Amino acid sequence: MNVNVNIILILINIIYIIMGANTKTYAITSQPYYDTYNTCYKNILIINIFPNGPLASLVKKIHTPKLSPFKQSSPCCPIDNCVYAIYKIDNLTELMNPDDIPNLFSYLIENGYKIDTSITKMMNMSDIKTTNKLLCYISLIN
């Protein structure tokens, strides 16, 4: 009996590894951004951590200017002034915005990413909301 349990545990571990247990999941959100060059406010697409895989070529860490002089960082309400911004596929000098979502989804699917609709749906239905508007969760399929 003990040998069978060990074999089952080994098989579960193998399946766990094959199914991508080491896969990272990323959150893509939209956040307001003040474009100092064009002196205007716009929404940009950002990712919570620097991604693995092809998407990394579209992501850069940028400093985000203050949106308001009245919004100050504090120990109780910290403001992160650096984010991982996603740049346009056809113009790596321009930040992606919500109008680029169809192109982003095509790029993600073509490059081996899975859009995790179950986690996205769960978070959108949750009473707990993040500061930025959630677009989706993704992971790179190995």
* Greater model confidence, 67 or 123: 123
* Greater model confidence, 56 or 63: 56
Contact 113, 140 (CB under 8 A): yes
Tens digits of per-residue pLDDT, 76-135? 766 678 999 999 999 999 999 999 999 999 999 999 999 999 888 888 888 888 888 999
pLDDT for res 1: 45
pTM more than 0.95: no
Instruction: Kindly state the percentage of the chain with pLDDT values over 90.
Output: 53
Which of 15-19, 47-51, 78-82 has the least mean pLDDT? 15-19
Q: In this model, does residue 19 exceed pLDDT 60?
A: no
The whole-angstrom separation of Cα 94 and Cα 92 is 6
Q: In this model, does residue 138 exceed pLDDT 70?
A: yes
* Greater model confidence, 10 or 122: 122
- Domain residue limits, the chain: 23-140
Q: In this model, does residue 44 exceed pLDDT 70?
A: yes
pLDDT for res 66: 73
Would you place residue 17 in the very low, low, confident or very high pLDDT band (cuts 50, 70, 90)?
low
Contact 130, 14 (CB under 8 A): no
Q: List strand residue ranges (DSSP E) for the chain, in order.
A: 25-35, 40-47, 59-63, 82-88, 91-95, 113-115, 133-140
